[in-house]
Each structure stands twice: as structure tokens, then as C-alpha cells.
Structure 1
Amino acid sequence: MSGSLLPAIHSDFTQRFGYEPLLVRAPGRVNLIGEHTDYNGGFVLPAAVDKEACFAVGLNGGSRIRLVAHDLGETLELVNAAEISPSDTHWANYLLGVAAQFQQRGIAVPGFDCVFGATIPIGAGMSSSAALECGLAFALNQLLGTGLEPLELARMAQQAEHTYAGVQCGIMDQFASLFGRAGHVVRLDCRSLAYEYFPFDTTAARIVLCNSGVKHSLASTAYNTRRQECERGVATLQRHYPAVLSLRDATLVQLEAHRAELDPTVFRRCAYVVQENARVENACRHLEAGNLAAFGQEMYASHAGLRDDYEVSCAELDVLVEAAKAAPGVFGSRMMGGGFGGCTINLVAPEHVDAFIASVSAAYQQQLGLKLETYQTTIVSGVGVVPVAVVQA
């Protein structure tokens, strides 16, 4: 249960609309390693966590779509569910985009009501948008009896983000929200969508997120520019190696051999992605061996690559990672998410968590004059229905 959020959302729904809804929770996610690899056909290692979006959804028997953002106290109403189009209300687009995906598959979407809220910090790189998309996709799939597989729901949620929110995201965030498994991280091959679970022992290491407080906007040009730079690198390599369809297929040897043909920036972007894919595979081997110290070293190397070669870090994130390195009981730390703000993810021995938070907070205050917000997260299962009886208990 998300503290008191789901009961409040259930109560808001029944008071507004006068009937019992379906209740759904959709987790946010952390990504332990494998950043900016997803849209390059590479590997990622996410987990679903206990910061989540909560929904009350029901079919209203009419043609209207009525959306309520519980946290914001805002509503949006569409008179005709058959005529969905992007809205000027930013938050509503994540939901409308999902309903439109059902329609594109020839599934009639009748009028429905939806009240939602979230405990996922916005702009912290924990995929609040994917949780919104996946939660509603899951709810409508249940209510309409469409029987779509979770992978199809993930694709629909991703397409909703592309078409209605204007962010050309990879599929990792939506996949992690739907396929999360308690006590496990999941390695996803973003090209084949093959996946494998690896146990993650949170009694040996806690996942602590440090929020830089710098809001990132992924729809901003920088994210889409990085995609284009990677595509330019692939196009150059393809002339020599037709089998290189994405950076996933490329090697550092190949990149070095044609360095002169690549713009220096494009070379650095591509080198980072190739190395990051190798780090994800190494990290999984370290997890299987129970070697958290070696896992943590891959995280530090990931951050250095994101900072120097991919250039998506910022001063605040760098200060947080350096402060983590200096603190006792820390296995590893790196920026997480698209970059330019958001959180660092830190693996910390449980007995050192309080001291870690105190020392990193002090360093952040001292060096940048900023107050630090931190979150301890637990790895949970993916999107699911919550029985009304549990909420009312």
C-alpha cells in the first residue's frame, strides 16, 4: 500500500462518480545500470520500486472520459471518447495517449472515469510518466476484457509517450513497471525484448536515491539530440560493417578503426553506449556472484561515462556521486535517468544508510548551498490490481 494514497483515491472516486472502481497500482522504477542504452538496442537493468501511481478507474456507461488528477486537484473532461486527441493539459496526455492506443488497435473505448495520484517524485528520473501510462493501460485492459499481453501493454504505453507526450523514449520504463518482480532486478535486451531476472538482496544493500532537486525535461532537445548523434555513428559504421544495425552490434575496435570519419562528439557518444552495454553484462555476473563491491565499480564507471562522454550529467549530480564515494558503506553510485538533473542511485550497506544520508546531505549543503531530499526504496512487483477490501481494511 502507498501509505494513505489509494484509500484517498478510492474515496475521491466513489464520492465524485457514485460507483465502485477498479483499483490499480503501477510502480515507478529505478535503473541500476544501463543508461541511454535502451533506444540503442542495448541492455538495461531496472527494477520496480515502491514509489507508485495509484488509480481508480471505471466504465461510466456513457461516452465521456472524465480524468481527475487527485494530487493537483485538476480535472479534464472529454465529451466523446471516440474522438481522442492531444490536450493542452500536460498530465492528461499520458492517459489520453494510452486510450488512443487501444483505439488504434481497433478496440472501441467507451466512456470511463479515472482518478489517479502518485507517490513518485516528479522529475526525479523514476518514470512517473511510464507508471501513469502502464497503470491506465492495465486498467483498461482489465475493464474492457481485451486480454492483451503485458508486453503489448508496454509497447502501447511507450507509443503513447511518443505520440502524445512527444518524448521518443525507449521501452525500458514501461517494461519495468509492468514486469517488475519483488526482490529482483530484470535485465532486458531492448532489441529482442528477451529478459532475465536476477535476485537482488536488499538486506545486503539498500537502494537510496538522492534527488538533486534539478528538474529535467526529457522532451527537451538534448535527449533527442543524443539519439540523433548515436544514429549518425551507426550510419557511418554501417558503410563498413553492414551487420551493425544499432550500437548494440558495434565494438570499440570498430569505432576506433573509423574514428577519423566520425565527428569527435559522435565518437564519444557511441563509445559510451558500447562500453555501457558491456558494463550491464558484467554487473549481472557480479550480482550472480554476490559481489556488490564489483557491481558498484561498474556503477561508478557508468557515471563517469555519462558525465564525460555522453555529457548528460550536471554539477549537482557530480557532487552527489563524489560525496557518495567518500562515505563509508557505499558500494556504488551514479546518476540515474535521462540526466541533466533527477536522482543519483546509491547502493549502501543497511547499517550505514543513516550516516550516508547525513554525510551526503552535509556535502550538498556545504558545496552548493542546497537541501537534499532522499528516498529509500524497496523492490516490488509490477503493475497489479489492489482489491477494494485491502484498501478499506
Structure 2
Amino acid sequence: MPATNNQAALAAARELFEKTFGEISSNAKVLAVHAPGRSEISGNHTDHEGGHVIAGALDVAVDGVAVANGTNVVRVIDANFPLVEVDLSDLSVREDERETTAALVRGMAFELAQTGRTPAGFDFASVCSVPAGGGLSSSAAVEAAYGRAMEALWEGPSIDPVELAKMSQFAENRYFGKPCGLMDQAAVCLGGLAYMDFEVPSEPKTAKLDFDFDKAGYALCLVKVGSDHTDLTFEYAAIPDEMQAIAGEFGCKRLCEVDPAVFDAAVPQLREKYGDRAVLRAIHYWYENGLVDKRWEDLVAGDIESFLVHTRASGASSAMFLQNVSATVGDVREQHAMLALGLAERILDGRGAARIHGGGFGGSIQCFVPLDLVDEFIARMDAWLGEGSCRKYSITEEGACATWM
């Protein structure tokens, strides 16, 4: 069993499996698969520019069971989504599968085939406790779950967490059609609390730390803001597009390659060519990247109060410079995330910290709440935004894995 020993989730997945695909025979080899959601602790939109990030795997996950089916078709079903079938005879990108589960299956199958494996059909049933569209990387968890299942079911070499993360990112970029960085997938695959440096994307540097926010006196709370970010890919994509357009002016692909002093000297020309927002987003990158390192140093030193000071600075940079706390939907500029931040600040009243979380725009906000305030914080946020909007999370050491049952 996976180390999380999530018996209830696996039992529910097995029940769904047998309801959908039929009873599992007594001599069948059954695979238990686990892949957690993630929280971006620090590094808002720095990963795709070759910057630094801190992220943590969460105690919500995709848990499933998989069994080879003797065909050339992968069949997957989740408790919240309909059955999907993917014929493995064609692993090329399909435009009609953009932003679908089938795209993730086909993309991961393509990547696993590159390791020398021979793709073969299997059935997979899962239950997912990662909120979809809430910015906790349910898509990265699904990709990693499929990848670990294929790694175990198809004979081939073992795949380390960073390699699996890169495969998952490729599937999301090329097959699913979302231009994400590597942070989501790396956090899901590594597990625990991890620092990541993406300056060399093919060989990211990582470090892990055993840190318990509860023992430091604060709860990690995430609040769904009431606006699903899955339909806002165009808003999300504009951020790396604008940052990389600025980098391109200096003959570079990413902002990590640009000398900030050279950028400063070119600000008037950059404003005229790209407008203020692109310039502000570049400013955010360097400011936020520095805050990642400061916050990691704080955590290593066990200085939670300094960590919170730098967390508040990070949130301000995302709101003012990155500008990913509101979204344009039709002719309306929705401010669900900004409202959630304002409401959180009313409760915190100068204690703890609150910031936009993940890709931003919709999804969720992240709050570090003093332990004596947690119950009140959750109750009041739920009263304002709807029952179940706010939840306390914990960092879990278990990354994406698969184990024969």
C-alpha cells in the first residue's frame, strides 16, 4: 500500500472499478496509485522563467486502482468524471482532445513509451479529493498518477520524481494545451516541502525540508474563491507570454537570463513597446524570486515570523505587479480572489498572512492562520463564500507512487 495508507479512498476506488469494469478476479495483479495535490508556498509565476519556488505536497490526492486489461486501450474513470477510453495505437497530439482527460492519458503514454516501454491497455478507477479548478494542481496529480501506473504496468526502468515531473509537464503543455511551468508536477512527484531552482529546466535543483507549520503556531489554510480558474487559461498564458516577450528584447528566452540592471536601463522603450503590465510582471519576477530565497532561509532557520513578513510582501507583489488577483470574464472584471483576500485580512487583523495562490485569477488564496484563530477563520470564510470554501491542510511527505496490492 502507499505510505499514506488511505484505505478508505482505495476502497472507494476499487468499488468504482468493479462497478465500471467488472469484478476483479482473484488472480489479477492490482496496482494502488497515489498522487497528492500541492500548494505553492512561495514563487508565484517564477518557475516558467527559470526562477525559484517552494512548494508542498498536500493531504489531498488522486487515489486509484489499476489492472491490465489485455487490450490496446486505456480506460479511466474518476468518481467525478465520466469514462474515458484512449486507443494506444496513436500517441500523437490530437487537437480535438485539448483540455481533456484523454489528452493527459495520451500524453503520458507517449512519454512513458520514450523510456523503451511497450504501451498496453489497462483499466484505472480513481477518487480525487483535490478540488478541481481550485489551484491545487489536480491536473498535475492526475498526470503523475497515470505516469506511475504506466511505469509499474509497462516493463521498463524506474523513473525518478523529477523525470516523472518533466514527463507530466510535457503532457500538460503539448497534449492538454496549458503552458504551465514545472513547479506543480515537481511538487506532486517529490512530496514533502521542497525548494526548487529551475534555472536549468532539464536538471532542476531541489532540496527538501522537514517543517511543520502547526508546530510553528500557524495553520496552512486554502480558500476557494468561488471562481474556477480552469476556464481562464488565456489569462494564465498571458503571464509567461509577456515575461518572455520582455526577455526576448535582450536575446533571452526567460527572465532568469536577463541582467536586471540592463532591464532597468531599457524600461522606457519596453513600456512603449509592450505596455506597463508586461514591465510590471517582469518587476514581479525579480522581486518574488528574491522573496523565495528569503522565505526558504526563514523556514530553515525556523523563523516563522520573518517568513510571514516575506509572505505578505509576496502577496503584495502578486496583486500590484503580477496582477493575477482578478480576471476578465466577458465584459466584466471579476474580483473574487481579491475579495477573498480582503475578507481574510479582516479576520487576520494583522496576524498571519494571506496571498494569492498558484496560477491566480480564480482558484484559491493561501492563508497562514494562527492556531487559536483557525476555527473562527474557517467558519467566517465559509459564511461569506459558501460552506466548504475554506479548509486547513497539512504537508505530506508522500509524493506520487504506485504499489502492488
Class of the TM-score when normalised by the shorter of the 2 chains: 0.7 to 0.9
| Superposed displacement of residue 357, structure 1 | 1.9
Match of 1:208 in 2: 221
- Shift of the alpha carbon at 1:190? 1.5
Give the letter aligned to residue 335 of structure 1: I
Higher mean C-alpha displacement, 335-344 vs 322-331: 322-331
The C-alpha deviation readout for 1:228-258, integer Å capped at 9, x for no partner, is 21112112234xxxxx653224454333221
For these two proteins, the number of residue pairs brought into alignment is 373
CA offsets 1:174-197 (integer angstroms, 9 cap, x no match): 11011012xxx2110022310111
Deviation at 1:347, TM superposition (A): 1.1
Distance 1:70 1:21 in 2: 19
Which of 271, 274, 299 is the matching residue for 2:286?
Answer: 274
SS in 2 for 1:334: strand
Q: How does 1:363-378 map to 2 (within 5 A)?
A: 364=384, 373-378=389-394
Deviations 1:192-243, CA, capped at 9 Å, x for gaps:
31011123223222111111011112662222222121112112234xxxxx
Q: Of 312, 315, 318, which aligns to 1:300?
A: 312
- Name the CA distance, whole Å, in 1 between partners of 2:102 and 2:65: 15
The answer to whether structure 1 residue 52 and structure 2 residue 61 are counterparts is yes
Query: Which residue among 121, 128, 132 is the counterpart of 1:118?
Result: 128
What is the Cα deviation at residue 92 of structure 1? Answer: 2.6
CA 343–219 in structure 1, closer or farther in 2 if over 3 Å, else same = closer
Aligned twin of 1:197: 208
Secondary structure at the aligned position of 1:271 is classed as helix
Aligned to 1:64: 73
TM-score, normalisation: structure 1: 0.88
Q: Which range moved further: 222-231 or 101-110? A: 101-110
CA distance in 2, matches of 1:11, 1:371: 28
Say if 1:66 and 1:220 are closer, same or farther in 2 by CA, change over 3 A.
same
Instruction: Say which SS state the counterpart of residue 249 (structure 2) adopts.
Output: helix
Contact 1:293–1:332 (8 Å) recurs in 2 = no
Under a length normalisation based on structure 2, what TM-score does the superposition of the two structures give?
0.85
On the 8 A contact 2:12/2:127 being kept in 1, the answer is no
| Per-residue CA distance 1:320-375 (angstroms, 9 max, x = gap) | 2233333348421101011111111111222221122234445x45xxxx666112
* Conserved? CA contact 2:74–2:122, under 8 Å: yes
Question: Which residue in the other structure is 1:144 paired with?
Answer: 154
Equivalent positions of 1:66-145 (< 5 A) are 66-72=75-81, 74-78=82-86, 80-85=87-92, 86=94, 88=97, 90-145=100-155
Deviation at 1:291, TM superposition (A): 1.9
| 2:344 alignment partner in structure 1 | 324
SS in 2 for 1:93: helix
Identity of aligned residues (%): 27
Output the CA distance in 2 between the equivalents of 1:76 and 1:285.
Answer: 45
Q: Is the 8 A contact 1:216 1:339 kept in 2?
A: yes
Stretches of structure 1 lacking an aligned partner (at least 5 in a row): 239-243, 389-393
Alpha-carbon distance in structure 2 between the residues aligned to 1:218 and 1:379: 28
Q: 1:67: how far off?
A: 1.8
> Residues 50 and 27 from structure 1, CA distance in 2 versus in 1: closer, same or farther, beyond 3 angstroms?
same
Report what 2:330 is aligned to: none
For residue 312 of structure 1, what is the aligned residue in structure 2? 324
Gap runs ≥5 in structure 2: 327-334
Q: Encode CA deviations 1:137-179: one digit per residue, 9 max, x unaligned.
A: 0121122232222222111111111122101111111110110
- Taking structure 1 as reference, are residues 58 and 361 closer, same or farther at Cα in structure 2, changes over 3 Å only? closer
Q: Distance in 2 between matches of 1:120 and 1:286?
A: 28
Checking the alignment, whether the CA contact within 8 Å between 2:134 and 2:363 is kept in structure 1 is yes
Aligned counterpart in structure 1 of residue 164 of structure 2, from 153, 168, 188: 153
Is the Cα contact below 8 Å between 1:66 and 1:114 reproduced in 2? yes
Hey, what's the Cα distance between the residues in 1 that align with 2:8 and 2:323? 39
Cα displacement (A) at 1:102: 1.9
1:391 corresponds in structure 2 to none
- The separation in 1 between residues aligned to 2:346 and 2:250, in whole angstroms, is 40
Alignment partners' CA distance in 2, 1:317 and 1:102 = 37
The letter for the 1-side match of 2:354 is: S
Q: Residues 53 and 195 (structure 1 numbering): CA distance in 2 closer, same or farther, change over 3 Å?
A: same
Equivalence for 1:165: 176
One-letter amino acid of the structure 1 residue matched with residue 401 of structure 2: G
Paired letter, 1:150: P
Q: 2:356 aligns with which of 335, 342, 346?
A: 335
What is the aligned-residue RMSD (CA, Å)? 2.2
- 1:21-47 Cα distance to aligned partner (Å, 9 max, x none): 201110000011101101000011000
1:227 lines up with 2:231 in the alignment: no
Pairs within 5 Å for 1:23-62: 23-62=32-71
The residue identity in structure 2 corresponding to 1:215 is: D
Q: Is the 8 A contact 2:243 2:278 kept in 1?
A: yes
Higher mean C-alpha displacement, 110-119 vs 5-14? 5-14
* Rounded Cα–Cα distance in structure 2 between residues aligned with 1:252 and 1:90: 39
Alignment CA distance shift 1:218-1:258 (3 Å): farther
Q: 1:213 to 1:246 in 2, by over 3 A?
A: same
Where 1:227 maps in the other structure, the secondary structure is helix
- Counterpart of 1:259 in structure 2 is 267
CA deviation vs aligned residue, 1:257-277 (integer Å, no higher than 9, x gap): 211121222211100011110
Give runs of ≥4 in structure 1 deviating > 4 Å: none
Partner of 2:395: 379
Q: What SS does the aligned partner of 2:367 have?
A: strand
Deviation at 1:14, TM superposition (A): 4.2
Question: Which position in structure 1 is the counterpart of 2:16?
Answer: 12
Preserved CA contact (<8 Å) 1:14 1:20: no
